[in-house]
Amino acid sequence: MAITGVKTLVVNAEMRNWIFVKIETDQDGLFGWGEASLNWKTRAVTGAVEDLAPLILGRDPRDIEQIVRVLKKHSYYRLGIIGATAISGIEHALWDIFGKSVGLPVWRLLGGQTRDKVRVYTHLGLGDMKSVYETFDPGALRDKALAVVEKGYDALKVVFIPYSGHSVGIGARRHVGRLMKTLREAVGDDVDIMIDFHGRPASTAVALQFIEELAPYGPMFCEEPVQPGDTEALRIVTERAGCPIASGERLVGFEEFEPLFRQNALHIIQPDLNHTGGILEGKRIAAAADQAMMGVAPHNPNGPIAGAAALHFDVATPNFVIQEEMSGAVPWYDDVVRVPMRRTGSYWAVPEAPGLGVEIDEREAAKHPFVPEVFHTKGAVLPDGTIVDW
């Protein structure tokens, strides 16, 4: 068996572009789908896939470890998030081909089943970006949270940490506390709440001041309380926080996660299988996290194939905790793609179809061509004009 073609298909899903990767083989009707979506980097990633494709033409698609090694080592320059995302999309498609070729779901090839169902959560607003990032009013927060619970979810994530510098006033801190109190009273104790800081605090002090307001209401975790890459700062926050701390969505490959394990800098890691190098790299990261007594809650606000890849990873990963998901993000979702994710309440069922279980209607997909994504960073400016992290 040999790879004969590597193509990309971009689908604009309103709030982001999905970048699908299709790998064709010399076996009649055998091909695989992957995903390499990266917000605001669509043209860069599709170009990277095109640049990497010649390295794998003619190779056996089932030699996944070897192909990923070729893509990393024969690229010469170290790959950042764009290159790693391109590789992730290619790698997903290779697993899809491998599973189809032997008639088994991908999770079987990853070591088999470790759970009977996969717990998931979604965002405030059910994927509407304005709701996710601009809900700072207690009344709107309560109503939108209840709408998520009415859809059957028993876990949701919110982003209501204000844009911050190196210090924060008591009024802003107390407003965050009021928002969390409103949210907890609205959904009750049986619904888990996650708060995404988005790396907005510019100091450990500010991060801890916000966490002090949140911790009494029992968050499942506070996510990315400081910018990625500063392991020592993250360790300080984790040691002093009164609740679980999670991070990792912007880290690339095992080498960027390794210091977190060595310094016990987190409680829960959040690799994005769409960005960190693929499913196999995710399994390496998860195994090391398990040894460090950390759970895994994969990041995934991406498209449907990324969701399918995450589902198979979750089924086969013992220290999995909960999965972020964005199914049905647009009204025509099911016209373009059929996926294996089937939700009952706040759980996905274990899929049985071969490969990733994804089918793309390329004719329908073509009705939603690339459109430049909208930047949501307008508010990331302090009153004095200082630019801060979004």
Residues with catalytic roles: 198, 299
Q: Where are the alpha helices (DSSP H) in the chain?
A: 42-52, 64-73, 81-102, 106-109, 129-133, 138-150, 170-187, 204-214, 231-240, 253-262, 279-291, 304-315, 333-336, 362-365
Token pair for residue 179? Answer: 């928002």
Neighbours of 102 (CB within 10 A): 12
* Closest listed residue to residue 364, CA positions, set 382, 343, 338, 342: 338
- CA distances for 174 relative to 95, 135, 177, 205, 214, angstroms: 48, 16, 5, 15, 10
Of 89, 213, 167, nearest in space to 384 by CA: 167
Give the other-Cβ count within 10 Å of 179's Cβ.
Answer: 23
**Residue 331 burial by Cβ neighbours in a 10 Å radius (0-12, 13-18, 19+):** exposed
